[in-house]
Amino acid sequence: MPNSSILEISRRHLMVGAASVSVAASSGVARAYGESRTAAEDRLKSEVRLTVNGSHHDLALDNRVTLLDALREHLHLTGTKKGCDHGQCGACTVMVNGRRINSCLSLAVMHDGDEVTTIEGLGQPGDLHPMQAAFSKHDGFQCGYCTPGQICSSVAVLEEIKANIPSHVTADLGVAAKLTEDEIRERMSGNICRCGAYSNILDAIMDVAEARA
């Protein structure tokens, strides 16, 4: 079993090391172009216009900033969570132009002009989105860390299914009639829950789908 204090020191050293590499990189760029570090850092920035939850934001962002970090660190919308930061857990799921993405895998500069919906934009206490209310009703969470991503994904999943089922079928049978629990599980498989609240999450999604049918 590794000693936790050794791990702590290693982690701190790693962070300091990473920050040093970043500073060194911009210093190196500055030297290469014969300019100040501030000028070099400015050169690495882009103007990005995002519409987030209906509000327009003009940002000057380092080209390496992910959409997730733009939301959390620059717009202070911390509802969207950083789990793995590697596209493996789904905690960072948001909707961009109506489609769900892992915001940790996408650079903010790629979304100039895009419309982003985060968990804050779906609903607020006292005015919850039906999916938020269903998660609450069915206890679709324990620690809650994965929950914003789960809910954004769930909302998008029902839209994906609606878009993929011919309208005469949805009209005749309703979305819920075409849904199987297996399909929901498969479509939600990119959202990991360490607390294992999967069966309650499934109940919440089916509840919303049935209410819409």
- Kindly list the residues in this chain that would bind ligand FES in the complex (CB under 6 A): 82-85, 87-92, 102, 104, 141-147, 193-195, 197
Q: Give me the sign of the Cα torsion angle 177, 182, 186, 191.
A: positive
Least CB distance from residue 107 to ligand FES, whole Å?
13
Which CB, 65 or 92, lies closer to ligand FES?
A: 92
Nearer to ligand FES, 72 or 129 (CB): 72
How far CA 76 is from CA of 60, 186, 194, in Å, comes to: 15, 32, 25
Integer-rounded Cα Rg, in Å, for the chain is: 21
Beta carbon nearer to ligand FES, 121 or 148: 148
Phi, psi of 206 (to 5 degrees): -65, -35
Q: Using an 8 Å Cβ cutoff, are 164 and 183 in contact?
A: no
Q: How many whole angstroms separate alpha carbon 206 and alpha carbon 189?
A: 15
Retrieve residue 158's tokens: 């029902």
Residues listed for the chain? 213
Please tell me the distance from the alpha carbon of residue 199 to that of residue 51, in angstroms, as a whole number: 34
Measured from the CB atom, the residue of 28 and 144 that comes closer to ligand FES is: 144
| CB closer to ligand FES, 156 vs 193 | 193
Residue 15: count of CB within 10 angstroms of its CB: 10
